[in-house]
Structure 1
Amino acid sequence: MRRQHAFTPDELDGDRLAVYRSITEGPRAEGPRLFDLVSESGTLLGPFNEFLLRPPLGDALQRLGAAVRYEGALTGRAREMAILVVAAAWESEFERTAHEAVGRSAGLTGAELAAIAAQAPLDLGDPAEAAVLRLTRALAAGDVDDETWSSCVPPLDRETVFELTTLVGYYSTLALQMRVFRV
């Protein structure tokens, strides 16, 4: 059952048009385009179309997503590993496909991408990346026990844990919305 109304650019005005432009002309549109934001007809792809249903909430959500992707302190590899952990936990095909492309660009190997998608063990040489992976898997499962915390903080600091909890919350929200609206 189709639950989504794909907004075309010609039917947008006011706040909906402003959110559309923030997504299509903002930081997501700059640099190399590793996945499509809009279809050939101009409708937003992935989670972004639903942001237009309630423009004030959609705008806040897209700004949060831009901050997570472009203003955080995580390395590109670590950020993409964390996003892909959430995609695997939620079985979110759009996020997996989109962020595997971004992850490859950030230096993740095919073997690393496969292990993350399969939620399999992954031996990472960088202690911070290993901690990001372990902590994000715990967050995606719902909590961080004391043993996981102690093994991850340090090498991570509390600021990085805050960034990861925000990332997991944001991408879990997108996965839930795409599941509900059958995107």
Structure 2
Amino acid sequence: MATTSTRMMRQPPRDSVAADELAAYDNVVARQASYGYATGQPGYEKARPADQMAGPYFGALLQSPLIAAHISDLGAIYRSRGEVPGSYSHADREWIDIVLGHEMGLNMWGHVADGMAVGVRPQAVIAVVSGSWDDLEPRERMLAEFIRAFATGKVTDEQWATLVEDLGQRGAVEWTAFIGHLTMTIRLIQAFIHNEGEADDVVLARVQEVIDGKRDLPDSRARVPSPTTVS
């Protein structure tokens, strides 16, 4: 498991926050505590409201409550797209977390688990983490190759046309925008907290436990906000 760096910033106490930023602070804490990502494990224990903790990443961002609130709001919009017609599925969104996280050196077990809970094939996770891309199904590989091309700034006309054919114009724009949002998120985590995610062998072992029925997955609805609450 990734180690915590001494550069990790702590969430500022609520009584240190300026009055005109308290609403932003409280909204971030409430939403992030509800996701329960503090330990990055499936079957998350949600923080009690009285604990007022937003987790390591948003805890650091809360040094600037307004920036934290806008990033949190945008993240909730991306999480809700699977609930509306004309966009990407929850599995498509978590596939970005899995592929991009591995490409950028930040495997996030919480998102790997959530991804499998919403329909990502465990064998597809193994293929990405182990580098066995020939084991991916055609659509999985198409999306994964687009994610990698985005990361290098080399998306081709053909890749874009294929993505639009698959997701539609709006879905393709929203899905691609989330790749950009997650790129920012990963780099901020690496700057604020730590440079490494879960080791590949740890992820592979846990996924195999899921396949073998020895490890439970989280509730697939646990971290999916209603689009009516984020519009």
C-alpha deviations, 1:116-144, integer Å up to 9, x for none? 3345414226x4x5543332222123230
Q: Kindly tell me: are residues 139 and 47 of structure 1, through their superposed partners in 2, closer, same or farther at Cα, counting changes over 3 Å? A: same
Letter matched to residue 123 of structure 1: L
Specify the alignment match of 1:136 in structure 2. 147
Question: Among residues 159, 167, 174, which one is paired with 2:185 in the alignment?
Answer: 174
C-alpha deviations, 1:43-78, integer Å up to 9, x for none? 432421122121221111111111111235311211
- The answer to which of 162-171 and 12-21 deviates more is 12-21
Structure (1 or 2) with the larger CA radius of gyration: 2
> What runs of 5+ residues in structure 2 fail to find an aligned partner?
37-41, 195-231
Specify the alignment match of 2:219 in structure 1. none
Report matched runs for 1:1-150 at 5 Å. 2-7=6-11, 9=13, 11=15, 13=17, 14=19, 17-26=22-31, 29=34, 35=44, 42-72=52-82, 73-93=87-107, 96-121=108-133, 122-124=135-137, 127=139, 129-150=140-161
Q: Kindly tell me: are residues 74 and 156 of structure 1, through their superposed partners in 2, closer, same or farther at Cα, counting changes over 3 Å? A: closer
> What runs of 5+ residues in structure 1 fail to find an aligned partner?
none
- C-alpha distance in 2 between matches for 1:88 and 1:26: 26
- C-alpha distance in 2 between matches for 1:134 and 1:157: 18
- C-alpha distance in 1 between matches for 2:53 and 2:162: 44
Higher RCO (Cα < 8 Å, 6 or more apart)? 2
Specify the alignment match of 2:198 in structure 1. none
SS of equivalent residue, structure 1 residue 74: coil
- C-alpha distance in 2 between matches for 1:21 and 1:37: 16
The alignment yields a C-alpha RMSD, in angstroms, of 3.2
**Structure-1-length-normalised TM-score:** 0.77
Letter matched to residue 117 of structure 1: V
Q: CA deviation at 1:81?
A: 0.5
**Structure-2-length-normalised TM-score:** 0.63
